[in-house]
Amino acid sequence: MSTATATAAPGVPASRSSADEDPRRVARGEPVDTIDGAPVHRWGQAPAYLQTQTQLGESRLKLADGQQPLAYIRTRKFGDVALYDPAAAKKMRPLPSSTKKKMEARRTCPTCKKVRKYVVRGPKCSVCWNEEQRARQRLSARTCMGCGAVRERPYPPRTGRCAPCRAELAAEKRASAARSMEYAITCPGRDCSVKTASKAEVTRWRKANPYGYWRARWCPPCVERDERERAEAAQRAQEAREAEREARRREVASLQEWAAAALADEDVVVLDTETTGLDDEACLVEVAVVTARGDVLLDTLVNPGVPIPRDASQIHGITDEVVATAPEFGQLLVDLTRVLDGRRVLIYNKSYDVARLRWELTRHYRASGHEDPAASAAAWLKAMTYEDVMVPYSDWVGDWSDYWGNYSWQPLNGGHRALGDCRAVLDRLRSMAARAAALTN
C-alpha cells in the first residue's frame, strides 16, 4: 500500500507512484490511525483488494495460520473492522452438492425462479418487488383519479384526471370560490344577507395578504342583536348558577335537619359489624349497637365458626384466639332482635352490613332446620327499619367526583372495631347537626 509521493509521474493520481501500479492495491486516502502498525482507513478509503473475514468466507476462503490484518476500516456500527489479503488466505473445503442445492434454493426467487446473491425472504425477490412497484405506479399514472378510467397514455401529472373529470373539478373549484366570496362579502349574522364588503375590496385584501384570513364584517343590527343575546345568555347562566347554589343549600339544610332529628329520636340506634372479609360469604366476628345518646345496648365478639383470614385480622385486630370463647351468632340473635326491633337502625354503608346479617341469618336458619332459610332471613330483615348514614354524610360533605358523577363516599375512620365505628357514626351525625344548630341560631 503506497501513498502519494513527490515523484509521481505526470497524469498519474497522487495516491499512485506510477502508472503500472494496480489501483486496487492503493489506498484512496490517508489513514486516520494505526493499530499494531496496520493503517486504519475511513469508509471507502482502504485498498479495494482487501477483504473482511466475512467477505473471505463468501469466497470460500479462510484465514491462514498466523495471518495478520493488513489494514482496518473504521465504521460507526461495528468499530474498527480488520481487512486481510485474499491471496494469503487458505481455501475452504468444497461444499457438498446437497448443501449447495439447499443454499441455492434459499437464494431462488419463488416468483421469477432466478438465483440471487442473497437469501430471498418472502414470495418475491427485490427485483420482482421493484418491478411490481413500478408496474403499479405506471398503472396508477394511467388511471383517472376521478372516475377510475384506465387509458394507454398517462394522464396529466398535475391533475391525474381525464378531460370530463378535469372539467368537473374546475367547476367545483369555481363554485367553491364563488361560495367563499359570497361568505366574505355577506354579514355572518344569523339569517342575514346584508352585503358588508365588495368583491373588489376582498380581492385586493387577499392579494395584499396572501397568507391572511379575511373575516366577514358584521352589519350594525346583527352586532346589536349578538351583544344582546350574549348578555341574555350570561344572565341565564348566572341565574342557573344561583339556582344550583340555592338547591345545594336546601339539600345541605335538609341533610342537617335529618341528622339533628336522628340524634333527638329515642328510637334511633346505630349498628356496626366486623367480619372475616369482604366476600359474599364473610361472617361476623363482632357486632355493636348503641343509642343516639351513645348508650351501649350490645357490644360483643362473635365466633364465626370459620378461620379468620390474616388480612382481616390485620385490619380489625380480631383473631381466632380472641373469638374462641365468644358466642355464635345464633346465641346472640335473641338479644340482637330485642335491641333492633321497632327502632330506626342507622348503619354506615347499610348495604354491606345488611348483606352480612342476611348471610348469618341464612346460616343460622339452615342449621336450625328451617325449610327455606333464605326466606326466613328475608322475613327477619324485613321486620327491621334500616337507614344509611354514609350516603347522606357524603352528600353533606359535597366532595364531587367527576369520575363517578356523584359525591365521593367519605371514610368513617372509626378504628375498625364495631363499638368505635358506632361512636364515629354518632360523631358524623353530630357534626352535621351542629351546623344546622349554628344556622338556626
Contacts of 15 (CB under 8 A, 6+ apart): 2, 3, 4, 26, 27, 28, 29
Q: Report the b/e string of 156-182 with b at 16+ CB within 10 A.
A: eeeebbbeebbeeeeeeeeeeeeeebe
Q: How far is CA 200 from CA 206, 207, 213, in A?
A: 10, 11, 16
Q: What is the model's pLDDT at position 121?
A: 92
Distance CA 339, CA 342 (A): 9
How many distinct helices (H) and strands (E) make up the chain? Answer: 12, 13
What is the rounded distance in angstroms from the CA atom of residue 64 to the CA atom of residue 67?
5
**Side-by-side strand order, sheet with 71-75:** 33-35, 38-41, 71-75, 79-83
Which residues does 439 contact at the CB level (< 8 Å), separation at least 6? Answer: 253, 256
Q: Which residues pair with 81 in a beta bridge?
A: 73
The three cell numbers of residue 225 are 342583536
**How many whole angstroms separate alpha carbon 248 and alpha carbon 370?**
49
What structural domains does the chain harbor? 23-91 (no CATH), 97-135 (no CATH), 252-440 (3.30.420.10)
Per-residue pLDDT tens listing for the chain (441 residues):
333 333 343 443 444 455 556 788 899 989 999 999 999 999 999 999 999 999 998 888 999 999 999 999 999 999 999 999 999 999 999 889 999 899 999 999 999 999 998 899 999 999 999 999 999 999 999 999 999 999 999 999 898 999 999 999 999 999 999 999 999 999 999 999 999 999 999 999 999 999 999 999 999 999 999 999 999 999 999 999 999 999 999 999 999 999 999 999 999 999 999 999 998 899 999 999 999 999 999 999 999 999 999 999 999 999 999 999 999 999 999 999 999 999 999 999 999 999 999 999 999 999 999 999 999 999 999 999 999 999 999 999 999 999 989 999 999 988 899 999 999 999 999 999 986 555 554
Cell of 63: 484465514
The verdict on pTM exceeding 0.75 is no
* Dihedral sign of CA atoms 364, 366, 369, 370 in order: positive
Model pLDDT, residue 95: 86
C-alpha closest to that of 328 among 296, 370, 283, 381 = 283
